Amino acid sequence: MSPARFIIRWDDISPYQNYDQFHRLVALFRKYQIPAVLGVIPDNQDASIKFGKVDDSAFIAELKDLEKLGWEIAMHGYRHLKRTEDGGLLALNQASEFAGRPFQDQLFDMTDGKKILARYGFDPVTFIPPWHSFDEATIAALSQAGFRALSDGWSLYPRSINGLMQLPVIFWSVPHRMRLLSWLDGVYTICLHPQSTSTADLAALDRFFRDENPTVVTAASLLPEMARLVRPTLKRRLLDRLCAKYYRRRG
């Protein structure tokens, strides 16, 4: 039985973030030497997630320090603005920055976002769509913009989609039934938002790290394994169908 592997992704990272909450999470992850995938908004213009602002140079320096520890800097949208009410392929939310917009418009935002992060000294390979909303044009634009991984989706297992490694997100808190997850032999993404992570959430994460000693990786670190991870074995096809039916019923 292979150990379950986890990606722990933090969304809404920008110079305007809630730094008290951010640093509480950083301290916990560093205590256990666990890396996170930081979803950085290149040009945050969403007033609902602006909590003040630090100097850009201090923000960049902190991200670079974390990157040196094996953390991944990913790109979380462009400006984190609701541009449409299109739920995209997942139909989870009636809001999107990308789904429902023309391919060229999506590609412009992605490439401009990458240019902004490049000026900070980062070269993101993983894209995280705001509101879990993306469409076929988004996928095509991601490939053309040079991204290699997409962090989103309902499947149990990673997939190959237009040359991208699609890593599904099915947990919003620490999981239970670890023996079952190890039997499934997958990679499971836990999605966190630092500004809304409560004291109880932090305690649950602490117990999870201490008691389960999970194997935590980043999306970028899995890219060399892509061919194996996306291989559709019979077991994976059957379990993915069951997973799809479960989420359709919940929707």
| 155 has pLDDT over 90 | no
Tokens representing residue 46 in the block: 């969403």
Q: Which fold has domain 5-250?
A: TIM Barrel (3.20.20)
The whole-angstrom separation of Cα 180 and Cα 231 is 20
Name 37's bridge partners.
9, 72
Give residue-wise pLDDT tens across range 163-206.
999 999 988 888 887 888 888 888 999 999 999 999 999 999 99
| 247 has pLDDT over 90 | no
Give residue-wise pLDDT tens across range 20-47.
999 999 999 999 999 999 999 999 999 9
**DSSP letters for 14-28:** STTS-HHHHHHHHHH
Distances (CA, A) of 203 to 22, 23, 24, 70, 209: 15, 15, 11, 23, 10
| Residue pair 132/90 in contact by the 8 Å Cβ criterion | yes
Tokens 């044009």 map to which residue?
137
| pTM assigned to the model | 0.94
Tokens representing residue 205 in the block: 């994460």
CA atoms within 13 A on the CB side of 125: 16
* Structural domain spans, the chain: 5-250
